[in-house]
Structure 1
Amino acid sequence: MATTRLRNDTFNDYSSTDSSPAEENSPAINNFPPISGQYERIGEHSSSSTTWFQTLIHLLKGNIGTGLLGLPLAVKNAGIVLGPLSLVVMGIIAVHCMDLLVKCANHICQRNRRPFVDYGDAVMCGMEYAPSHWLRANSIWGRRMVGFFLILTQLGFCCVYFVFLADNIKQVVEAANATTNDCSSNVTVVLKESMDSRLYILSFLPFLILLVFIRNLRYLSVFSLLANLAMLGSVVMIYQYIGRDIPDPTHLSYAASWKTYPLFFGTAIFAFEGIGVILPLENKMKIPHQFPIVLYVGMAIVTVLYISMGTLGYLRFGSMIQASITLNLPNCWLYQAVKLLYCFGIFITFALQFYVAAEIIVPTVTFRVSERWTLLVDLSMRAALVCVTSHIEQPIQRTITPYCQERGIMSLYPSVLAILIPRLDIVISLVGSVSSSALALIIPPLLEILTYYSEGLSRWTIAKDIFISLVGFLGFVFGTYVTLWELLAPESHPGHVNSTLYAVQ
């Protein structure tokens, strides 16, 4: 795949990883859609378009990931009753916002006579028709804002993938001598550490760098298929384990403390945040009018999986639930294989999630260098981004700790180190509260108001959109506050969980 260069601050929202930018931009600009009551996507060759079933599979693939494994801990932070009910409500709102984004994008394409707009372009075009002169004059910042949140979210996924791989492989290796064929035990054996988890992170670093050097994702299609099958098999095995021998749930709280609920919100909305794949998938369909049905059916399946995994996982393990439910599985060879299969899927998925951020960041840098240095700069930027997401700065801790102890400044050390080397569970909740709330809840309802305001909107529609955006904004504010407080003073927070959360899509 040739490097896509960005000009005039444009970028492509390629959350769909089954096609390259060159393929997505193939429609000729002069082939405008007709202005009619029935919107038609044009410019796609029938050979490259997708059927409703293929789109459904891609939709499930884009929304189901490691976030599924972190939801039991999220339900614990909300309560065994309040948690599942909240997941239902959040699922309904998230799907509605996805539908709003598609409708607004279709309307903008008709009005501006464009074959396709991505998420960022939709926000920019919506602001260009806003009643406020300030919004119209600064419409370019709408696209930049969406790009920033996409980068933050996707690199957040990649950051957690590193730790997921390290912790699960570490547990498998350290439990190897104690692993048996008996899977009846409900306790995961904790053995003495043989190697620091940061060394596992560093060991994965060169392999992941080589993986992201593959710039044409079609070369990974076979591995991606195998990864999806491996993850599917792992999820089935997890369900069959947590679905039996559930202990008495009467000791579980119906609703957890309000102080931990924002942690649930950040984790859950992070898991539901698959809005970046919506427009690319809809644009690739042979019959785009079928997409709303695919969207609702697909997201209904996703919501059922989220609720069942979160509820059953918390019911099975109770207060002992860890950040990733795979870490609660017994030390028998069958479930160790489950961890390894899921790790293989996550290893391949790293390149797919990294692709979105790279397509936004890398071209902005390569555009400023000569053609001679384009490839070198491209690969260097990809390697640097992988290093950033790997948290390889963590070995600094071994140097900082003795330095602070010798100079009597340990009172400053915890807060400084918490920001420099944060707990991943809190960071993911923070990213979910900030970027995922913005992308999935705050922006789409406001986009509907901007898009249709000049053509007339009912008061009920405006009130509904403002309410949804307000819910997202409150989640952003309280989620950010609680997670930052947890970073700076974890020992005083009742919701502190001494584990790492792998709540990633």
Structure 2
Amino acid sequence: MSTEKDNKGSVFTLSDFNSTTILTEKVENGKDSDYNPFEHRDMAHSNSTMGSLAHLLKSSLGTGILAMPMAFKNAGLLFGSVGTIIIGLICTHCVHILVKTSHEVCKKAKVPSLGFAETAEKVFETGPLFLRKYATFARNFTDYGLVATYLGANCVYIVFIATSLKEVINPELNVNYDIRFYIAVVVFPCILLGEIRKLKYLVPFSAIANLCIVVTFAITLYFMFTGEMGVSKRPWFSSWGQLPLFFSTVIFAMEGIGVVMPVENSMKKPHHFLGCPGVLNTAMITVVCLYAGIGFLGYVRYGEDVEASITLNLPRGVLIAEVAQILIAIAVLFTFGLQFYVPMDILWRKVGSSIPKEKHNFSQILFRAGTILIMGGVSAAVPKLDPFIGLVGAIFFSILGLCIPAVVETVFLYPDNLGKWNWIFIKNIVLVLFSMIALSTGSVVSIHEIIKLYA
């Protein structure tokens, strides 16, 4: 990562996880509309359309899909199916308006590309006069939102790995070690992976993780389809009190907005990202269909006994089932470094400048290790997957994935381009309200479930 500033602008590089932003004062023919940001991007390391589709699918098709049967448990078969589709449409729309707004503000500001936080900053910076003073706040809020989201997801990863190990090791060794013991064990390899600072060194771990996930899915589907499928025994609707956990779980599982701008910014043909079918629509249709299918079938198969990760429902004492649980634990562990890379780069960018350069290496070692130890402490405090997933989804993903894109589009179009009868403004108000309802109700229910752990 490098940051350079002069009187003309700034350059910020964050590899594949942020934009390559080159601010320029170039004006073509004196008109903003004549500036095409796509023509000014650095395409030396660009990705093909299919490669970008693969990246977007990988970012959304993670371990969250394993939690979908639990989400259906909190909604019922019919409401879960319809609700998953609706949330998928909402998430897709929010990504669409974020990317579209980023394109437009790039033209207005004469900037080739912008990351998520940079888009928020530039929208306020070039927006209505009375909002321009909030530009830095908008960037920092989005940056810290990304940090909190990724760190929260990594805490879920730690609990997930520890739970999977406990389910295999305790019965095999005939011991009864507490989940917190396994969390403490998991923290140490996480620290080692968290010290990796270059993405290229994480590539082999990602490749192994992908292979483990594919094998785990195959084994899980085998057990799902070889057991009794009790459709008639499952309710079409659960209860109103459980719906907040459904919404927050699905948002957690499906939302991958943190990697959307990096993927779009690195495309060889960025105009293929939006539109029909487009990379975004193709990826999200695939994701929604898979999530709804796995959620439906998993709940039909295991009913009220379904766990926070469906791999935890695999039969105990069966070798192939235990292999699946170990493989998914390895997959999540090897994904940890990649997920940890993003928040650490953002945080170090903010604190590194205040530390003498000769102390950067040692300081980063301590900073990364300390952060993971804190995450381990948080994970030990909330060692149960389902309320933890709900809490992270409710607080972080609802703000990052739903609220911020709606606000960004509104500010950019304000006051004259909000559509007939200001329908865009009304639509975005509804999105913000939905995100706030998901945040508040999901948080309350999740916190209530967490409190019950200590009651």
Fold-level similarity (TM above 0.5): yes
One-letter amino acid matched to 1:299: M
Deviation at 1:193, TM superposition (A): 3.6
Distance in 2 (CA, whole Å) between partners of 1:132 and 1:154 is 33
Tell me: CA distance 1:258–1:32, structure 2 relative to 1, closer, same or farther (3 Å): farther
Deviation at 1:285, TM superposition (A): 0.5
Select 1:476's aligned residue among 423, 428, 439.
439
Aligned counterpart, 1:436: 397
One-letter amino acid matched to 1:140: T
For the residue of structure 1 that corresponds to 2:197, the secondary structure is: coil
| 1:216 counterpart = 2:198 | yes
Aligned counterpart, 2:55: 58
Select 2:289's aligned residue among 304, 307, 320.
304
Aligned counterpart, 1:225: 207
Aligned counterpart, 1:390: 376
- What are the superposed Cα offsets for residues 276-312 of structure 1, whole Å, 9 maximum, x if unpaired? 1111111101111111201100111111111111111
Contact residue 67 and residue 310 of structure 2 kept, 8 A: yes
- What are the superposed Cα offsets for residues 130-171 of structure 1, whole Å, 9 maximum, x if unpaired? 4471x3222211111111211111011111111111111222
- What are the superposed Cα offsets for residues 361-399 of structure 1, whole Å, 9 maximum, x if unpaired? 1232221111111111111110011111112784xxxxx
Aligned counterpart, 2:102: 105
Distance in 1 (CA, whole Å) between partners of 2:454 and 2:379 is 24
Tell me: CA distance 1:79–1:131, structure 2 relative to 1, closer, same or farther (3 Å): same
Tell me: CA distance 1:265–1:302, structure 2 relative to 1, closer, same or farther (3 Å): same
For the residue of structure 2 that corresponds to 1:19, the secondary structure is: helix
| 1:203 counterpart = 2:182 | no
Deviation at 1:343, TM superposition (A): 1.6
Tell me: CA distance 1:44–1:38, structure 2 relative to 1, closer, same or farther (3 Å): closer
Deviation at 1:47, TM superposition (A): 4.0
> What does residue range 95-494 of structure 1 map to in structure 2 within 5 Å?
95-131=92-128, 133=130, 135-176=131-172, 193-292=175-274, 293-331=278-316, 332-391=318-377, 394=380, 421=382, 423-458=384-419, 459-489=422-452
For the residue of structure 2 that corresponds to 1:390, the secondary structure is: helix
One-letter amino acid matched to 1:41: F
Q: Kindly report the root-mean-square deviation, in angstroms, between the aligned alpha carbons of the 2 structures.
A: 2.6
One-letter amino acid matched to 1:247: M
Distance in 2 (CA, whole Å) between partners of 1:32 and 1:311 is 53
Q: Percentage identity across aligned positions?
A: 31
Deviation at 1:423, TM superposition (A): 4.2
Tell me: CA distance 1:59–1:320, structure 2 relative to 1, closer, same or farther (3 Å): same
Distance in 2 (CA, whole Å) between partners of 1:139 and 1:327 is 45
Deviation at 1:233, TM superposition (A): 2.1
Deviation at 1:42, TM superposition (A): 4.3
For the residue of structure 2 that corresponds to 1:296, the secondary structure is: helix
Deviation at 1:486, TM superposition (A): 3.1
Deviation at 1:44, TM superposition (A): 4.6
Aligned counterpart, 1:500: none
Tell me: CA distance 1:374–1:209, structure 2 relative to 1, closer, same or farther (3 Å): same
One-letter amino acid matched to 2:69: P
Aligned counterpart, 1:401: none
One-letter amino acid matched to 2:136: I
Tell me: CA distance 1:425–1:110, structure 2 relative to 1, closer, same or farther (3 Å): same
Contact residue 155 and residue 379 of structure 2 kept, 8 A: no
One-letter amino acid matched to 2:410: I
Distance in 1 (CA, whole Å) between partners of 2:446 and 2:379 is 21
Contact residue 11 and residue 360 of structure 1 kept, 8 A: no
Aligned counterpart, 1:410: none
- What are the superposed Cα offsets for residues 70-107 of structure 1, whole Å, 9 maximum, x if unpaired? 11111101111111110000001100110100000010
Tell me: CA distance 1:250–1:20, structure 2 relative to 1, closer, same or farther (3 Å): closer
Contact residue 31 and residue 115 of structure 1 kept, 8 A: no
Deviation at 1:31, TM superposition (A): 8.5
Distance in 1 (CA, whole Å) between partners of 2:198 and 2:52 is 20
Deviation at 1:206, TM superposition (A): 2.1
Tell me: CA distance 1:382–1:285, structure 2 relative to 1, closer, same or farther (3 Å): same
Tell me: CA distance 1:257–1:212, structure 2 relative to 1, closer, same or farther (3 Å): same
Tell me: CA distance 1:176–1:53, structure 2 relative to 1, closer, same or farther (3 Å): same
Contact residue 78 and residue 260 of structure 1 kept, 8 A: yes
One-letter amino acid matched to 2:100: K
Contact residue 129 and residue 454 of structure 1 kept, 8 A: no
Greater shift, 135-144 or 80-89, is seen at 135-144
Tell me: CA distance 1:488–1:472, structure 2 relative to 1, closer, same or farther (3 Å): same
Distance in 2 (CA, whole Å) between partners of 1:393 and 1:480 is 17
Contact residue 179 and residue 383 of structure 2 kept, 8 A: no
Aligned counterpart, 1:399: none
Tell me: CA distance 1:224–1:487, structure 2 relative to 1, closer, same or farther (3 Å): closer
One-letter amino acid matched to 1:447: V
Tell me: CA distance 1:205–1:490, structure 2 relative to 1, closer, same or farther (3 Å): closer
TM-score (norm 2): 0.90
Contact residue 166 and residue 182 of structure 2 kept, 8 A: yes
Tell me: CA distance 1:111–1:151, structure 2 relative to 1, closer, same or farther (3 Å): same
- What are the superposed Cα offsets for residues 455-477 of structure 1, whole Å, 9 maximum, x if unpaired? 52212222222222221122122
Deviation at 1:33, TM superposition (A): 8.7
Greater shift, 288-297 or 143-152, is seen at 143-152
Aligned counterpart, 1:503: none
Aligned counterpart, 1:498: none
Compare the two structures and name the one with the higher helix fraction. Answer: 2
| 1:94 counterpart = 2:91 | yes
TM-score (norm 1): 0.81
Tell me: CA distance 1:478–1:258, structure 2 relative to 1, closer, same or farther (3 Å): same
